[in-house]
Amino acid sequence: MIIFNEYKFAHDMLRKGFSRLMSTQELIILARYLRYIGKNEDQIISDIFDFCAKHFDGFNPINNLSKIKRAIQTSNKYPLVIANPIPITQKEINTIKSLKDYKSEKVLFLLLVSAKHQKLNVGSKNYCAYIKRTEMFTLAKVHTTKDEKNNIINNLDQQTGLIDTQLFGKGVKASFLVTFIDEDGEALFYVDDFDNIIGFYPIYCEKCGIVLEKTGRNHKMCKLCWKEHRKEWDRNRKNS
């Protein structure tokens, strides 16, 4: 599971408990948070044991001691990730729009934000998104067939060159190097809600190019362009 804002996630954990019971990933994030707020190693162990006892009925300290210690030790490798807003430029949006396929556009926008987050907030060397393919399409809110998902990725990689894909294992997890980053452009807007990244991607009328608040079920047009489109369709139907 990709977690963009570990600081916020840890806050939510302390209020709500685990999202996946005794998840190693979540234990690591909690340990990072406790260290971030100034707790020492003994305090971190004590606080995590108290947390587990509170949010896990039947928690056994002895059986889970090694797992918790490993999570705390692993948490030392990287600092807590605090998700600062991600700038998106007009040039980047124009590149995404050039695909002229809304599903592909949303996937590429999600990868752009993820890659910039990795570089700007996590400290990665490259603009590379590390995300499972299933999770990528879920976050991009693209619901389609397995074959179409493969076609989208292949097109972005092999046909357009906008990403460079490296698969791991059986292809379930991959890194996607985003190749069209505009580092020098002025920010058009900032993505600051990582629970709804795709909500920041503008929807444009495919005829006149204005930004839309919402679209029809089967088209991406403003009301005026859709009205003209329907008139033209009716004329052609009558003349056929």
Residue 100 DSSP symbol: -
The model carries a pTM of 0.84
Domains and CATH numbers, the chain: 6-75 (no CATH), 86-201 (1.10.10), 203-240 (no CATH)
Q: What is the pLDDT of residues 99-126, one digit of tens each?
A: 989 899 999 999 999 999 999 999 999 9
pLDDT band of residue 22 (cuts 50, 70, 90) is very high
Asked whether residue 171 carries a pLDDT value surpassing 50, the answer given is: no
Three-class SS state of 146: helix
Rounded to the nearest 10 degrees, the angle between the axes of helix 102-117 and helix 90-97 is 140
Q: What is the pLDDT of residues 181-199, one digit of tens each?
A: 999 999 999 999 999 999 9
- CA 115 to CA 140: how far, in whole Å? 14
Asked whether residue 34 carries a pLDDT value surpassing 90, the answer given is: yes
pLDDT of residue 190: 97
- Region 160-169: mean pLDDT is 82
Residue 79 DSSP symbol: P
